[in-house]
């Protein structure tokens, strides 16, 4: 057994919370954050005074920028928390790094209940300035970023340009088609129809997909996630401290956080990304296998990334992602492997990382209402693209 000696298994998710998902929201970034955090703390059956740790990715790494306007520093005083450990920051295993770091802090004995959160207000920002998120605007004057400087001089203005090249390579190597890739967007929309909080809920057809304009070939507008204003919060608890909560604890069965390649968007495996390292580590830390997974929440900042995660995690064979999702029936709510059951970020809204964890728990706890899948106890969450990659296997006790 690879089981009990791995300390992440002593950590469980005990509560979840999420603000409104606005496009845009009238609330401030901090107000959204408080909504999510208070809901999560209450859901776990805890009080503010029980929280002794705070984790976020990426935290406030750019002075309140809409990508991540609130970090642990600001939240601690606002909520009157007394913490024994806290941490944020961009450099880590992608959008669910807060979950991974928080679990490590508990496993290391630094704290008992960690509040993990992620706030984003990119919809509000786009009302003011559509180009504010351009990669070329990340530095003033000459580009001195250790990685963007190798891309922005060639008019790589958005991350989609890099991830479109992964898609093109996958199409070339494995014969993946645009009609196959369409199933990620169509599945997310079909799920969003049943999610009252989703940003886009009008049903989509294959014709709608093929008619949507190219942004960066072969990726179209409907392959891109949708900006929103929202905050999501997750409570992690030491397992012994989790038993008295309201919800059956959801154990962190295994973590994938590996990077065995350069932190780069072009010097990595173009169809495996860092996801393949992260996913390999995950399965090395558990006796469960991909066949045990009842639902998968897989990052869809751009649709191609979901397909690459399906392969990286061994949920289908390498190169067979297109065939696996063809027709959409395998990945539908009633299929063998439901994915992105709340509409993902493509239709649900770009809550960026923790939204997937929130949805995985909703499914495991049977709270997903009209979008509830068949009951299951094992779910996988994976987030990130390119060199950003982190994943967790969740098991309801």
Partner 1 sequence: MSRKLPALTAESQRFWQGGAERRLFIHRCQPCQRFFHPPAPVCPHCLSEEVAATAVSGRGQVATFTINHQAWTPQLDLPYVIAIIELDEQPGLRLVSNVINCEPAKVRIGMRVEVEFLQQEDIWLPLFVEERS
Is the Cβ–Cβ distance between 68 and 81 less than 8 Å? no
Is 134 among the residues that bind partner 1 (CB under 8 A)? yes
Sign of the dihedral through C-alpha 287, 329, 304, 191: negative
Give the Cα separation of 162 and 156 in Å (integer). Answer: 7
Write out 53-73 in H/E/C secondary structure.
EEEECCCCCCCCCCCCCCCHH
**Site for partner 1 (CB under 8 A): which residue of 5, 91, 142, 207?**
142
Q: Is 177 in the site for partner 1 (CB under 8 A)?
A: no
Q: Which of residues 257-276 bind partner 1 (CB under 8 A)?
A: 262, 264-267, 270
Q: Is residue 383 part of the contact set for partner 1 (CB under 8 A)?
A: no
Q: Tokens for 255?
A: 């973590």
Nearer to partner 1, 165 or 296 (CB): 165
Is 167 or 325 the residue whose CB approaches partner 1 more closely? 167
Could you say whether residue 61 binds partner 1 (CB under 8 A)? no
CA–CA separation, 116 and 57 (whole Å): 9
Q: Please report whether residue 66 would count as binding partner 1 according to CB under 8 A.
A: no
5 binds partner 1 (CB under 8 A): no
Using the minimum distance from each CB to partner 1, give the nearer residue, 115 or 135: 135
Q: Could you give the CA distance from residue 351 to residue 199 in angstroms, rounded to a whole number?
A: 11
Question: Quick one: 118 exposed, middle or buried, by C-beta within 10 A (0-12, 13-18, 19+)?
Answer: buried
> For residues 280 and 196, what is the distance between their CA atoms, to the nearest angstrom?
35
Q: Would you say 21 and 349 are in contact if contact means Cβ atoms under 8 Å apart?
A: yes
Please tell me whether residue 178 binds partner 1 under the rule CB under 8 A. no
Q: Is 320 in the site for partner 1 (CB under 8 A)?
A: no
Q: Which two tokens stand for residue 134?
A: 């351009």
What number of chain residues touch partner 1 (CB under 8 A)?
A: 38
Could you tell me which stretch among 54-62, 97-105, 165-173, 309-317 binds partner 1 (CB under 8 A)? Answer: 165-173
Q: What are phi and psi of 332, to 5 degrees?
A: -75, 170
The smaller minimum CB distance to partner 1, of residues 82 and 146, is found at 146
67 binds partner 1 (CB under 8 A): no
> Rounded to the nearest whole angstrom, what is the least distance from the CB of residue 386 to partner 1 in the complex?
12
Which residues on neighbouring strands pair with residue 53, listed in sequence order? 85, 114
Please, which of residues 210-229 interact with partner 1 by CB under 8 A? 213-219
* C-alpha to C-alpha distance for 70 and 54, rounded to whole angstroms: 12
Q: Does 175 bind partner 1 (CB under 8 A)?
A: no
Instruction: Name the site residues for partner 1 (rule: CB under 8 A).
Output: 131, 134, 136, 142-144, 149-158, 160-162, 164-166, 168-169, 172, 213-219, 262, 264-267, 270
């Amino acid at each position: 057994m690879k089981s009990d000696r791995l300390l992440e298994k002593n950590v469980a998710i005990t509560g979840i919370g999420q603000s409104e998902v606005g496009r845009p929201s009238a609330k401030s970034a901090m107000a959204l954050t408080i909504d999510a955090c208070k809901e999560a703390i209450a859901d776990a059956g805890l009080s503010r005074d029980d929280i002794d740790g705070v984790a976020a990715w990426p935290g406030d790494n750019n002075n309140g920028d809409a990508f991540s306007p609130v970090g642990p520093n600001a939240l601690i005083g606002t909520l009157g928390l007394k913490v024994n450990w806290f941490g944020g920051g961009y450099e880590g295993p992608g959008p669910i790094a807060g979950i991974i770091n928080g679990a490590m802090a508990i496993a290391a004995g630094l704290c008992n209940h960690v509040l993990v959160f992620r706030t984003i207000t990119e919809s509000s920002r786009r009302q003011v300035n559509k180009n504010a998120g351009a990669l070329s605007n990340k530095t003033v004057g000459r580009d001195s970023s250790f990685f963007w400087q190798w891309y922005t001089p060639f008019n790589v203005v958005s991350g989609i340009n890099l991830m479109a090249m992964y898609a093109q390579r996958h199409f070339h190597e494995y014969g993946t088609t645009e009609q196959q890739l369409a199933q990620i967007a169509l599945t997310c929309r079909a799920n969003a129809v049943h999610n009252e909080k989703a940003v886009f809920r009008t049903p989509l057809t294959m014709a709608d997909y093929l008619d949507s304009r190219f942004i960066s070939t072969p990726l179209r507008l409907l392959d891109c996630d949708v900006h929103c204003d929202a905050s999501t919060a997750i409570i992690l608890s030491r397992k012994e401290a989790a038993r008295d909560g309201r919800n059956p604890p959801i154990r962190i069965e295994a973590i994938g956080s590996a990077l065995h390649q350069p932190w780069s968007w072009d010097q990595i495996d173009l169809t495996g990304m860092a996801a393949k390292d992260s996913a390999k580590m995950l399965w090395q830390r558990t006796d469960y296998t991909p066949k045990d997974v009842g639902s998968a929440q897989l990052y869809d900042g751009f649709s191609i990334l979901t397909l690459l995660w399906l392969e990286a995690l061994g949920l289908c064979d390498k190169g067979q992602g297109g065939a696996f999702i063809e027709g959409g029936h395998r990945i539908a709510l009633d299929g063998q492997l439901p994915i992105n059951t709340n509409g993902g970020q493509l239709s649900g809204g770009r809550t960026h990382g923790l939204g997937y964890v929130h949805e995985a728990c909703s499914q495991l706890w049977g709270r997903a209402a009209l979008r509830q899948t068949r009951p299951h106890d094992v779910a996988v969450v994976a987030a990130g693209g390119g060199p950003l990659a982190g994943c967790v296997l969740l098991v309801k006790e």
